[in-house]
A and B are shown apart, each in its own frame.
Chain A
């Protein structure tokens, strides 16, 4: 899975799970850029308001094509906004960032989301600390931090160069892109 496009499952739900600083948000931004570079539009439902426009700009995301929904920490609003977006045809990618406290998503609601996404031929990516969509997710990938990379010789000249992440397929329906863990490297700005 060396390509962010392998994560985007059109007509299905993909979950990117991992702890903080594991690289899951960076992977999401890369997937967003991949979805937008074809000329489509995408939506990001941001539960905790953690989206950083500067990071998106660095990732090459066209802000004009990104609909950002700030939910102010309200999990119920985030789920309702996602439900509205998955029923609107035309979005190449809909991302739901549930933050560090994932909401309770019943299996019925998750399957409803999956059916809606399939109907409009879009892709739903859920970003969180742990999976919440259950069996309705087509692909669940886990990001495992491999540690930051520093450059510099002395403490005063130390600089964060980037971070390394291992992306592993935790569960996949049908043919998974690859079952082998793939290392990703991120560059600090």
Chain B
């Protein structure tokens, strides 16, 4: 049984221009051209080449529809283009913009079908077999592809046919979607102009001289005759006119990282202006993440500086995010705390994608801060108190007093609050009475203790805690409770603990460090 085939082609016309308009949507209303600087050797009057000096002449690489209406064509110098269109807007070719736009096209196509082929800048082939039950017929699939590419900032045309070549030609016919029924490719393409094949100029001239104007004319030529006269190039053109594919389908594998960049026309040294640029970069990045249904778990911000250096920051997100605003807040707070040392010429933001966790909250559970609010408040708290000063307390597996660490605050999404800091130790609540809390002194305060001899040993009698000069009398004390540990790795500790009630009513914990023979006030029971 022959497997049915059906392909769609997503085509973005004037792709270099479209990539720039994606980064700056305001350019869509203007006559835009993309220019690149080409070096030309300066010529002597006699016409002989001279190696130096060279001149750089900006030339048009691609022209948008409004510029083309004014007569601007690729290959023109910028000066000639401005002469033809005084309202022309020029932008230098930015490879990062083009690469990011192409990647966005592929991501948008992958959101519709898992089998996608990268056919070059601005062209993506999509295998749409099997999507009838998920999306609908060919028209529905074409509309879905249009919506997906529009969501990532690109205006495209979609063609659907039985072969990739026919679908690509159909997409070029425009303006939105063209669907060619299976088996009718040759008939549907017969009237299309030969220029849609983008043939080499020499081959095109030959066909024009032969009177071949349309794909139907070319398809009507005898195949053997075309091969004999024009070789492999002619054969490829003949098969394209018939709507046949000359190469196998090569599925595209998505990259493992996500990145968006923005080159700046002038240097930026103010944080507010930089954040507006970063916001646009994040909008494109989050649109791609949303198209792939993933979230960002970590952000890498790279800023190219006017000094030639690069300022790189990594922002670890407490929760995976997919929204622009909390990401922008986090990046702004981080750059405020760690500003670059020079004006910025380029912004690159990349994200580490993570799959979102879908959690069903319990009916009776208490509300928790939303991911967005929590990320924003944690970022602001880090900026106020310091990154190392906020978190959830976690007890360490040690007998060393005050052994704990701070871990990033990430409350469990579901479940009750009956988990304790350390589940292995029973709580005083299990005995039916709330426990007496200790207020720690960090660091413990040095104390001077007068001991008095009793029948069973020395006990603290009077106490003075630095920097106070007042001496407190110890009314009652219990102890010592001896504790020690880690003597085997060179970081040993040994201490005697006393619970002491002072004459002013304070109930405190005194510690005698047996290694240093110093006394400390470790904490106060409260």
Contact = CB atoms under 8 A, between A and B. Distances in A.
B373 interface: yes
Interface string B404-426: 10100111100111111110010
Contacts, number: 230
Contacts of B508: 21
B526 A69 contact: no
Nearest 10 A-B pairs (CB), nearest first?
Answer: A90-B369, A40-B366, A57-B421, A186-B436, A25-B526, A36-B417, A187-B433, A53-B393, A50-B439, A156-B456
A175 B431 CA distance: 33
Interface string A49-87: 111111111111111111111111000010011001101
Given A22-B526, A25-B526, A84-B380, A38 B366 contact: yes
Q: Is the interface of A mostly helix, strand, loop or mixed?
A: mixed
13 contacts: A21-B507, A23-B526, A38-B416, A39-B416, A50-B441, A53-B394, A55-B436, A56-B393, A60-B420, A81-B385, A85-B381, A158-B477, A186-B437
Given A38-B365, A189-B428, 12 more contacts: A20-B526, A39-B417, A53-B395, A59-B435, A59-B437, A62-B418, A68-B391, A68-B393, A87-B377, A145-B505, A155-B455, A187-B431
B353 interface: no
B309 interface: no
Contact of B427 (A23, A53, A58, A65): A58
Contact of A88 (B374, B392, B433, B459): B374
A148 B507 contact: yes
Contact of A20 (B404, B429, B506): B506
Contact of B417 (A26, A59, A65, A148): A65
A163 interface: yes
A45 B429 CA distance: 24
A58 to B, nearest CB: 4
B420 A62 contact: yes
Interface residues of A, number: 73
A26 B7 CA distance: 70
Contacts of B394: 53, 63
B526 A26 contact: yes
Nearest to B370: A90
Interface of B: 362, 364-370, 373-374, 376-377, 380-381, 384-386, 389-395, 402, 404, 406, 409-412, 415-422, 425, 427-429, 431, 433-442, 454-457, 459, 476-478, 499, 501, 505-508, 523-526
A95 to B, nearest CB: 12
Contact of B369 (A41, A50, A152, A188): A41
A8 B441 CA distance: 27
Interface in A83-111: 84-85, 87-92
B435 A26 contact: yes
Nearest to A56: B421
Contact of B377 (A19, A54, A84, A148): A84
Contacts of A39: 362, 364-366, 415-417
A59 B420 CA distance: 9
A26 B390 contact: no
Contacts of A53: 393-395, 404, 421
Interface centre among B380, B422, B455, B526, by most A CB within 10 Å? B526
Nearest to B361: A39
B524 A55 contact: no
A182 interface: no
A65 B393 contact: no
A80 B428 contact: no
A89 B373 contact: yes
Contacts of B395: 53-54, 57, 63
Contact of A90 (B367, B389, B419): B367
B384 A63 contact: no
Contacts of B366: 38-40, 92
A58 B417 CA distance: 14
A68 to B, nearest CB: 5
Given A25-B526, A58-B435, A90-B367, A155 B459 contact: yes
B526 A81 contact: no
A185 interface: yes
B385 A71 contact: yes
Interface centre among B370, B438, B523, by most A CB within 10 Å? B438
Contacts of B477: 158
Interface string A5-41: 0000000000000011111111011100100111111
